[in-house]
Amino acid sequence: MKTEQQECSCAMEQKIKEEFATRFGGEGTFYASAGRINLIGEHTDYNGGFVFPGAIDKVIEAEIRPNGTDRCRVYSVDINETAEFGLAEEDAPAQQWARYIFGVCREVIKRGFEVKGFDAVFAGNVPLGAGLSSSAALESCFAFAMNDLYNDNKIDKFELARIGQSTEHNYCGVNCGIMDQFASVFGKKDCLMRLDCRSMEFEYFPFKLDGYKLVLVDSRVKHELVDSPYNKRRQSCERVAAKLGIETLRDADMDDLDRIKDEISEEDYKRAEYVIGEKQRVLDVCDALERGDYATVGERMYQTHAGMSKLYEVSCEELDYLNDLAKECGVTGSRIMGGGFGGCTINLVKDDFYDPFVSVVIKKFHEKYGHDPKIYPVIISDGARRL
């Protein structure tokens, strides 16, 4: 029997096929890449710590065929728009969605590799702007395809991730880290990846989830932030690291922090306490997974939430409420996923608790805030690939 996700993916492929045949005639090659979750390790990347992402069963799929010209014609099924562009820097398309694809082509070319004109149709089921990185899925899908179609797969996978990241920086105005594109490119079924953001080394950890489910609850709120709280958090971390004479908080432990307690502000102390704790929590979760100890995994997730809420102060009322509801419903682990101030919580839930949790969370959240949260069950799946 097919899962709901597979059904959905088949329908998507069918739709892409039809559109491709109608618009361009014949058929091309299918590629896909995935959105991602991060189980634990938040605000650690710029502190030289660890993140622990995995690709999910929500994807962007594209059918692509070289067209023998120097122009690209791309149709987006979900937006129902076509974009046409050349491959020189001045050919940037007007549509935002097409700039992700154009940017990928440009970044491939800038690195001395080849891209030529193509026709493409693409669609996706990664929710947009929900924190699951639909943009990284789109970039990775096309980066993988350009590598496969024109470059005999000579571009290594890390470079494919960097191509996506540079696309965000240079063509979409988003100054992101590498995690999203890394996860989308390297993702592997039933595995999370611990990425060391200092050395860029990574390791796969099996994440089979027997008897558990992973589900995201999207609060659908995003609080407008006035005074660049992210920059302020970064500055706090940098000040403490400088005081300790180290490059990043990766190299600090709580003893170090306590030694300089009187020399730093109470606020900086709290920020650093969170970061130092979070580094260890990622390591703890990896150890626990190797033992199949989901209780500890969940405990650390709750600790991360508490740290983000009370020490790093990047939570908000709605996310704290979602976390409280998870606790009340006996959810094994729950925390904010992403930078904070809105967006999703990620929840590790025992199978038997799943349905009651989802109905309680929808009902109670609606009662309090007047709208339903969105529920996204996810399965850890493969990243960029040819289908």
- Residue 167: name its binding partner from Mg ion, ligand ADP, none (Cβ under 5 to 8 Å by kind): none
Q: In this structure, are residues 302 and 335 in contact, taking their beta carbons and an 8 Å threshold? A: yes
Other CB atoms within a 10 A radius of the CB of residue 6 amount to: 11
The region, left, alpha or beta by phi > 0 then psi within -120 to 50, assigned to residue 200 is: left
134 binds ligand ADP (CB under 6 A): yes
Beta bridge partners of 193: 204
76 binds ligand ADP (CB under 6 A): yes
First-to-last C-alpha distance (Å) of the chain: 20
Element (H, E) at 196: strand 191-196
**Between residues 139 and 268, which has the closer beta carbon with respect to ligand ADP?**
139
- Cα 238 from Cα 272, distance rounded (Å): 9
The distance of closest approach from Cβ of residue 346 to ligand ADP in the complex, given in angstroms and rounded to an integer, is 14
Dihedrals phi, psi of 121, to nearest 5 degrees: -130, 135
- Residue 78: name its binding partner from ligand ADP, Mg ion, none (Cβ under 5 to 8 Å by kind): ligand ADP
Stretch that binds Mg ion, among 8-16, 129-137, 223-231, 302-310 (CB under 5 A): 129-137
- Cα 156 from Cα 296, distance rounded (Å): 36
97 binds ligand ADP (CB under 6 A): yes
131 binds ligand ADP (CB under 6 A): yes
**Between residues 179 and 272, which has the closer beta carbon with respect to ligand ADP?**
179
Closest CA to 171 of 102, 109, 112: 102
- Cα 152 from Cα 148, distance rounded (Å): 5
Stretch that binds Mg ion, among 32-40, 132-140, 212-220, 277-285 (CB under 5 A): 132-140
Per annotation, catalytic residue among 45, 119, 180, 218: 180
96 binds ligand ADP (CB under 6 A): yes
The distance of closest approach from Cβ of residue 128 to Mg ion in the complex, given in angstroms and rounded to an integer, is 9
260 binds ligand ADP (CB under 6 A): no
Find all residues with CB under 8 Å of 275, minimum gap 6, and list them.
43, 44, 47, 49, 237, 249, 312
Task: Please report, as residue ranges, which positions from 46 to 65 form the binding site for ligand ADP (by CB under 6 A).
Answer: 60
Clarify whether 180 is annotated catalytic. Answer: yes
**Of the candidates 38, 47, 135, 140, which one interacts with ligand ADP according to CB under 6 A?**
135
Stretch that binds Mg ion, among 134-142, 316-324, 325-333, 366-374 (CB under 5 A): 134-142
135 binds Mg ion (CB under 5 A): yes
- Cα 11 from Cα 61, distance rounded (Å): 11
Number of residues that bind ligand ADP (CB under 6 A): 18
Radius of gyration, alpha carbons of the chain = 22
Planar angle of CA 132, 340, 300, nearest 5 degrees: 85
Residue pointed to by tokens 């006035």: 226
147 binds ligand ADP (CB under 6 A): no
Other CB atoms within a 10 A radius of the CB of residue 158 amount to: 15
288 binds ligand ADP (CB under 6 A): no
Residues with catalytic function: 180
The contact set with ligand ADP (CB under 6 A) reads 60, 76, 78-79, 96-97, 100, 123-124, 126, 128-129, 131-135, 138
Judged by the rule CB under 5 A, the positions of this chain that interact with Mg ion are 135
